[in-house]
Structure 1
Amino acid sequence: MELGDGGVATADPVIRQKYTEERNKRLRAEGLGQFLKLADSAQFQYLADDPWVDHVAFNAKPPVLSNGDDIKFLVLGAGWGGLLFSVHLIEAGFNAADIRIVDVAGGFGGTWYWNRYPGLMCDTESYIYMPLLEETGYMPRFKYAYGPELREHANRIAEKWDLTDKALFRTQSRSAQWDDAAKRWIVQLVENRGPTEPKKEIKITAQYLFVASGVLDAPHIPRLPGFEQFKGQHFHTSRWNYDITGGTDTDWMLDKLKDKRVGILGTGATAVQAVPHLAKWAKHLYVFQRTPSSVDVRNQRLTDPDEWATKIAATKGWARARTENFNSWVTNEPNGENLVDDGWCHAPSYFAIWGGRGIIAPEQIPEHVATMHAYDIERAEKIRARTNEVVKDPETADKLKHWYPVWCKRPTFHDDYLPTFNQPNVTLVDTDGRGVDGLTADAVVVNSTPYPIDLLVLSTGFALAVDGGSGSPAQRTNMKISGRDGLDMDDKWVREGMGTLHGAASHSFPNLFFFGAGLAQIGVTANLTYTLDLLASHVATILAEAERRAGGDTSRVTVEPTKAGEDEWVSEIVKRANWFSAVRGCTPGYLTKEGATPANTEEQMKAARSSVWGEGIISFTEVIRAWEAEGELRGFKVESI
């Protein structure tokens, strides 16, 4: 990092100008409007189908939930978040028999259930990313676990905590309405029983409701002129079609591509993993690129059992210690030996979107942004130099270089992606930031040049920002949530902006808990599992204390943030929001709602409310643990009448 006069951090003005020019190329007036809303598109309704589910087997099982059931804990979501909510409730002393889990998928795993594309792996170290490793005694096979192993682990957790028969899969949550007289949530569910049986409407009540929908779960589909006339095959990476490519979700031998010209649209984290496998099997592969990813070394390797037993997992509490050590390195507060020591730990400027110590006043924003850029220079130049070293053709290498700071687009790490472009059957089609022009019956068109293909793979990612909506847990779960006095959650959040206490609960919605709203009003890190685990434990602690206070019959206990408690938390979020000012200059992407900017002061304030905790995950953890240590449930109102 360079220091200018007076010790102020500086960044190369030529590079910053280059960043601005590249960003401006990619700005589009329609913003999020350049993507389809899946509900409005008949052509992409297949994305709502589950290609992995066995309907016959499920229909033969006894029902997990029936009309009229009254349960204590209803968890919406069977991924890491839903499993962690459930496990921490059990660890806090509640009974697994009182828990029911509902998910639209056909099994546990969340994103690891749906995503089964070739090359799929976690991008943070599996030893800290896979939850409850210490409790299950499991040793991951690889430093970065592949998709099948991650799905296996989700099932392992469910089995260990007796949750396997507590989950109702293939089921969409339609609505949840608070009944204040009964102190219950009235929840409407629809079970999809497959193409040969009618859907089943289920109405139940629950004392506590947990929304554990994922952060990146709604596929992005670009509006491409001519898509309706395209005669070739296509699918989205989140619904990989092995009937077309050959292979299976556990055997990535894509032998049906040997005579096919394949195009893949998008070059983000998914494409970086899938492209080497497509290139290995396709007759020819065209990679259509709007914005290149930064691609650092992955250094994937098998886990060494001796190292695992004697160093990594040798002491009680190793998992939390290793995770928090990682957090310290990625937020520039290094604490001891760099235990994970991977690319994340050597990207010091990434805390521009995670948060860091100190509250940034408005007049400090220019200096703060310059400091973030200065932190990034060495890393960015090293990765651009690596591209030159790996990719033999200089012109292709130049097109594969990222020209934006690391925080603007999630960095990638892979050992095989860049070498793929040295293969004679692979062509990089760079659109110079504009995206593709459209499709014809048999080709993708870029800059008026058609590229004939037989198969188009849409690796266009997921929507983090919700177009035109509140971004509330209700909208993200595609359901209507009505709280006290019939208050609609979306209406509240559209009118006031996001409002939570600790990113886990909202005033006027008793006994409802969630993981932020997207990533809002919570502390985050590159390893999102840590935040999910922290908040799941936090909520279980709150409920255990609330029911302890009630004593005796706890069937009418309610827990709800007070208005004052919520307002205080929101004010703390807003106070720290200036930390994220460097994001405003980012290349368009999900973090910036594709380049959209708040229209007025009111919208700017709402945007500030949707920030993550601005002083970083270590500070957030300290705040949460200090609050728990008080033992007062400060900011929550507990009733048992």
Structure 2
Amino acid sequence: MTTSAETANGANAAPSAEDLKVYELSQKYTAEVAKRFRPEGLDQFVRLKDAGSERFRALAEDPWVDHVALNAKPPVKDGSKYKFVILGAGYAGMMYAVRLIEAGLASGPDDIRLIDASGGFGGTWWWNRYPGLHCDIESYSYMPLLEETGYIPTKKYVSGSELLEHADRIATQWKLHDKALFRTNVKTARWDDATQLWNVEVTEGRGPGEQNRDLTLQGQYVIIASGVLTNPHVPKIPELETFSGPLFHTARWDYKATGGTPQDATLTGLEGKRVGVIGTGATAIQAVPRLAKYAKELYVFQRTPSGVWWRGQRETDPEEWKTKIARKKGWQRERRLNFETYVTDNVQEGQENMVADGWTEMPGFSALLGSPRYPLVEPTPEKIAEHIGRLYKLDAPHSEAVRARTDEIVKDPETAAKLKAWYPTWCKRATFSDEYLQAFNQPNVHLVDTDGKGVDSATANGLVVAGKEYPLDILILSTGYVTPSIGGGSPAMRTGIDVYGRGGRSLDEKWKSQGASTLHGASSNGFPNLFFAPLSQSSHSANNVFTLDVGSQHAVHIIEQAEAKAGGSAIIEVTSEAEEAWALEIMKRAPWFASVMVCTPGYITAEGEALKQPEDPMEMAKNARAGNWTQGIVTFIEALEEYRADGQLKGIDVVARTA
């Protein structure tokens, strides 16, 4: 095997001092992967809603829902029929609804019904209300429909409360409040060839003392838009449910235990308390500084540290907003596209950096997003090693700077050493904070590093690591979510919905037997009038809202053109030939993502599942089909626009509904 040191200058060239340094770094990274790899993979965790313990299942409940207000609304009738049934009422579902309305495809309450398990609009911003919560992409680029609403964010990175308010703003402007069914879990979506409609079976919760309602709703179209951060999970720590104090997940924050509110993080309930936090990912980076301010003692239990770069939070300047940000029509799209050139390593000479944040200083993140700068990677060991070696070299200056910043900020050298991330930038969600590392300089904040092993066990009084018990009064689980890539990224599996198309075929079974199968990551043969938010076989951005907006505009364009072609009500179905041709395009790009194979187990690697290479060629091919476009989202958009330009909807069968 060619080494990364050799590949930087070519296999036959003598490695430079820089190449040798990068090679040594790669060896360090490899050792960290081996230390953390566990063969059980995803089985290390359990979803809150699937936990055997009633205590954990209760943690999955919505703590914010107003049952009285929702029960006062006219109930949705069993058997109600809608043109569009949208599964999800977060930013994704709302953007699909808005784009449908703007295209003139929907207007009244009988045209759209958004269904969500939560008690209101907002998705992840409804569920997550922990102290310190804010968007990690600048709000001017992240918040959807800013140009259309005319809203000016208060800060470069606005709070979770402001993001939740923005969801309600969108719902108000586009009259979505009477088009939503909340507190409702979708069980099954089943295509009926006779009626040429989808039957969507749901259970609506009504709150304490009220009987749940089982309903079947009909839809001409179903759109799965339930987002990627939908299923909180917890590690299977022995005896965890026996902990006697308050215990909760960050996605279901308990302000009764901590004091404060989502709008006021004055956590007086922590005064005099010993608080434990399991996890050091993107959520903990934001929450730990607030906890440190109020807890008597704060213990942060770490399996794998995050690389923490600078944040640069600031108030929005009205003059700058008017003259430099919202300076012309189409400004938000322009700003998003500008951002993408930095995170996909495609900056042009003399180009203005509109966003100018920490993200734009990490070209190595292109390992996860792709880049238009480079050709497709040939599927040979030598070329793959050369590709990974180039990425290591591209990323090394930044990852080294992140570790150096840790040394500069954290006063205790031993603690600083344990807080350093020994993996490439692309292996975990990048984090940014001007407060997190500083918190470890406080005498009441203690890092409990588990050396990659995780917490050993729990007791009624605390947690045990390496044989030592740490007494705690409150325990907070900052342990993230189930990776959306499970099941090859099947839209059904990642949302927990059973989807059956023509002939009763299961979408999960299709993904399992032949791998991801779509056209543009938007729809699949055998499942007419079913669309889903981008995941497998599409393109992605660090700015997930941009990814979702690209997907929503493409799906709505297809529906709009098909309805016009059918003279009204249409049945739209991707052909098997078109999805196989698209799968080949994706498979040609799969070698790019060999970069993931050097990552520590975590969200990106499906807790190490991606590191298990199958020996069966058919399984390898199915894995390759679940990949994504590797030239960055800008060129993906260009490919979609080229496809749409002739208006022919090539690879899609369109007929008029006859039922």
Q: Same fold judged by TM-score > 0.5?
A: yes
Of 4, 7, 19, the residue aligned with 2:9 is: 4
State yes or no: 1:446 paired with 2:465: yes
Query: What is the rounded CA distance, in whole Å, between the counterparts of 2:613 and 2:184 in structure 1?
Result: 36
Q: Secondary structure, in 3 states, of the residue corresponding to 1:637?
A: strand
CA-CA distance at 1:48 after TM superposition: 2.8
CA-CA distance at 1:607 after TM superposition: 1.4
Q: Which residue of 2 aligns with 1:95?
A: 106
State yes or no: 1:58 paired with 2:89: no
State yes or no: 1:361 paired with 2:373: no
Q: Could you report, residue by residue, the CA deviation over 1:207-254 in whole angstroms, capped at 9, with x for unpaired residues?
A: 011110111211121011121332222100000000000001111111
Query: What is the rounded CA distance, in whole Å, between the counterparts of 2:89 and 2:246 in structure 1?
Result: 31
Q: Which residue of 1 aligns with 2:622?
A: 606
Of 579, 586, 590, the residue aligned with 1:566 is: 579
State yes or no: 1:530 paired with 2:546: yes
Label 1:470 to 1:333 Cα distance change in 2 as closer, same or farther (>3 A).
closer
Q: After the TM superposition, which residues 196-275 of structure 1 pair with which residues of structure 2 at under 5 Å, given as runs?
A: 196-275=209-288
Whether the aligned pair in 2 keeps the contact of 1:102 and 1:167 (CA below 8 Å) is yes
Amino acid of the structure 1 residue aligned with 2:341: S
Amino acid of the structure 1 residue aligned with 2:364: S
Q: Could you report, residue by residue, the CA deviation over 1:238-273 in whole angstroms, capped at 9, with x for unpaired residues?
A: 000000000011111110100110000000000000
Structure 1, 624-633 or 34-43: larger mean CA deviation: 34-43
Query: What is the rounded CA distance, in whole Å, between the counterparts of 1:618 and 1:460 in structure 2?
Result: 32
* TM-score calculated relative to the size of structure 1: 0.97
Q: Which residue of 2 aligns with 1:497?
A: 515
Query: What is the rounded CA distance, in whole Å, between the counterparts of 2:102 and 2:449 in structure 1?
Result: 51
Whether the aligned pair in 2 keeps the contact of 1:598 and 1:607 (CA below 8 Å) is no
Query: What is the rounded CA distance, in whole Å, between the counterparts of 2:327 and 2:466 in structure 1?
Result: 57
Q: Which residue of 2 aligns with 1:545?
A: 561
Q: After the TM superposition, which residues 449-468 of structure 1 pair with which residues of structure 2 at under 5 Å, given as runs?
A: 449-465=468-484
Q: Which residue of 1 aligns with 2:199?
A: 186
Q: Which residue of 1 aligns with 2:634?
A: 618
Whether the aligned pair in 1 keeps the contact of 2:298 and 2:446 (CA below 8 Å) is yes
CA-CA distance at 1:59 after TM superposition: 0.5
Query: Over the residues paired in the alignment, what is the CA RMSD in angstroms?
Result: 1.5
Query: What is the rounded CA distance, in whole Å, between the counterparts of 2:563 and 2:430 in structure 1?
Result: 44
Q: Secondary structure, in 3 states, of the residue corresponding to 2:46?
A: coil
Of 51, 55, 58, the residue aligned with 1:46 is: 58
Of 484, 503, 516, the residue aligned with 2:502 is: 484
Q: After the TM superposition, which residues 132-147 of structure 1 pair with which residues of structure 2 at under 5 Å, given as runs?
A: 132-147=145-160
CA-CA distance at 1:334 after TM superposition: 1.7
Amino acid of the structure 2 residue aligned with 1:476: R
Q: Secondary structure, in 3 states, of the residue corresponding to 2:266?
A: coil
CA-CA distance at 1:416 after TM superposition: 0.3
CA-CA distance at 1:24 after TM superposition: 0.9
Whether the aligned pair in 2 keeps the contact of 1:470 and 1:490 (CA below 8 Å) is no
State yes or no: 1:111 paired with 2:124: yes
Whether the aligned pair in 2 keeps the contact of 1:465 and 1:591 (CA below 8 Å) is no
Q: Secondary structure, in 3 states, of the residue corresponding to 1:590?
A: coil
Q: After the TM superposition, which residues 393-412 of structure 1 pair with which residues of structure 2 at under 5 Å, given as runs?
A: 393-412=412-431
Structure 1, 278-287 or 178-187: larger mean CA deviation: 178-187
State yes or no: 1:27 paired with 2:45: no
CA-CA distance at 1:470 after TM superposition: 5.4
Whether the aligned pair in 2 keeps the contact of 1:296 and 1:413 (CA below 8 Å) is yes
Whether the aligned pair in 1 keeps the contact of 2:488 and 2:536 (CA below 8 Å) is no
CA-CA distance at 1:95 after TM superposition: 2.5
Q: Could you report, residue by residue, the CA deviation over 1:448-505 in whole angstroms, capped at 9, with x for unpaired residues?
A: 11111011100011111566x4542122222211101111111111111111111010
Query: What is the rounded CA distance, in whole Å, between the counterparts of 1:497 and 1:212 in structure 2?
Result: 20
**Unaligned ranges ≥5, structure 1:** none
Label 1:584 to 1:152 Cα distance change in 2 as closer, same or farther (>3 A).
same
Amino acid of the structure 1 residue aligned with 2:31: E
Query: What is the rounded CA distance, in whole Å, between the counterparts of 1:480 and 1:140 in structure 2?
Result: 39
Q: After the TM superposition, which residues 578-597 of structure 1 pair with which residues of structure 2 at under 5 Å, given as runs?
A: 578-596=591-609, 597=612
Amino acid of the structure 2 residue aligned with 1:341: A
Q: Which residue of 2 aligns with 1:629?
A: 645
Q: Could you report, residue by residue, the CA deviation over 1:577-605 in whole angstroms, capped at 9, with x for unpaired residues?
A: 11111111110112212222133222222
Q: Which residue of 2 aligns with 1:416?
A: 435
Query: What is the rounded CA distance, in whole Å, between the counterparts of 1:466 and 1:129 in structure 2?
Result: 23
* TM-score calculated relative to the size of structure 2: 0.94
Count of residue correspondences: 634
CA-CA distance at 1:183 after TM superposition: 1.2
Of 295, 315, 336, the residue aligned with 1:282 is: 295
Structure 1, 90-99 or 165-174: larger mean CA deviation: 90-99
Query: What is the rounded CA distance, in whole Å, between the counterparts of 1:187 and 1:32 in structure 2?
Result: 29
Q: Could you report, residue by residue, the CA deviation over 1:288-326 in whole angstroms, capped at 9, with x for unpaired residues?
A: 111100000000001001100111001111011011011
Of 355, 358, 361, the residue aligned with 1:343 is: 358
Whether the aligned pair in 2 keeps the contact of 1:574 and 1:611 (CA below 8 Å) is yes
Q: Secondary structure, in 3 states, of the residue corresponding to 2:448?
A: strand
Amino acid of the structure 1 residue aligned with 2:502: R
State yes or no: 1:472 paired with 2:490: yes
Q: Which residue of 1 aligns with 2:401?
A: 382
